[in-house]
Amino acid sequence: MEKFVIKGGKELKGKVRISGSKNASLPILFASILTGKLRLSNVPDLRDITTTCQLLKQMGFDVRKSGNTVEVESGGDIKTEAPYELVKTMRASILCLGPLIAKYGRARVSMPGGCAIGLRPVNLHLKALSKMGADIKIDHGYITAEVNGKLKGCEITFDFPTVGGTENVLMAATLAKGKTIIRNAAKEPEIVDLARALRKAGAEIEGEGTDVIEIRGTSDLKEIDYRVMPDRIEAGTFIAAVGLAGGEVEMEEFPFETLGAVIEKFEEAGLRIEKLDGNRVLVKKVDRLKGTDIITQPYPGFPTDMQAQFMAAMCLADGISVIKETIFENRFMHVLELQRLGANISIEGNTVVVKGTEKLIGAKVTATDLRASASLVIAGLAAENTTEVYRIYHLDRGYEKMEKKLQLLGADIRREKSELPY
């Protein structure tokens, strides 16, 4: 295991480039099952990307990675199974289900794992695919699905706007017979990116980015050649890092249009965020931040994936911040670790109250999930003395070379082997 050792108190200054989006890359990689051939650029070098490539290889696909470009091509014998050994670490692996059924008429996929931040049930995925004609059974931890012939287009209305469910049905519908309409669809930018990639392959899709998406199925799709969008959550995390540590940072490849709610709340807290020419943004901390309230919501609201980082920033703000989590029921596990650093935080149900303190003091803390780990790292940048963040394998699932990027900005952070199973 590994840990980060951070000596806090240094302002961040310089330039950083935002990597490609993990949450956009994963479904597009699985879309290669539909097309048989994919060339995807701007792919971040992450643990989840590696796991996805391993899964595709195990299925029989030829996967080649060069720098931040991944190429996938189908071989002769494709295995339509996603085993537990790979699926257990990554929830996004469920996204192979729809493409496998649509392309090969069958699939056997282990129930997914990933961060322990809530139930996040896949029943909405299964209900929708069943409505399209798939015969689905769950047995001994595996989802088994078959379809006689082709999936059939239909109208699907989700109980709530599920991102994964929307992506699974969107991919499956591209090879289904007839038209599929997804109502109450998720609107996240990563879904828009997936739709654009599929359209490159000849898919007929309309309405991505709205709550109604229409897909006309086709008999065949061609190769996808696509560049992944920048990672809006990484960009938001670096905004929060400047909000805590202070300084002035220019971010390149910044997805400004996708971060409206995040930018608005950090500006409300007193951070200066200026859009420059091209895809560049300048983030500057002039004064101490002030307490600001947020409520996590589906896009275009404030993203749940930025809740932990915003909470960390509010730990050193003037006044009181009220943070309400409406997406996942178990996403406050970072609170206890922030308290170890001296944060004044209390929890009541799905609401957290943060009373800003004068300082944080370094301590040993443990990452419990991907975004919680990011919150602890950026808190450590502002804490006095030394902070050690354990179990950073969580962070490696979603941030490309985070410590190296922070080092370029002047942070005193290093990766070390961890002897303790802390």
What's the first-to-final CA gap in the chain, in angstroms?
Answer: 10
Name the catalytic one among 53, 96, 115, 315: 115
Q: Is 96 a catalytic residue?
A: no
* Tokens found for residue 14: 């310089």
In angstroms, what CA-CA distances link 172 with 112, 179, 272, 364?
A: 19, 11, 43, 45
Is residue 308 helix, strand or coil? helix
Count Cβ neighbours within 10 Å for each residue of 123-160 and write b for 16 or more, e otherwise.
Answer: ebbbebbebbbbebeeeeebbebbbeebbbbbebebee
How many CB atoms lie under 10 A from the CB of residue 216? 15
Question: For residues 2 and 64, what is the distance between their CA atoms, to the nearest angstrom?
Answer: 27
Question: For residues 96 and 101, what is the distance between their CA atoms, to the nearest angstrom?
Answer: 9
* Tokens found for residue 240: 């929060």
By CB atoms closer than 10 A (0-12, 13-18, 19+), residue 318 is middle
Closest Cα to residue 111, out of 130, 97, 99, 128?
Answer: 97
For residue 44, cis peptide bond before it (omega within 30 degrees of 0): no
Which is it for strands 106-110 and 81-82: parallel, antiparallel or unpaired?
parallel
The set of catalytic residues is: 115
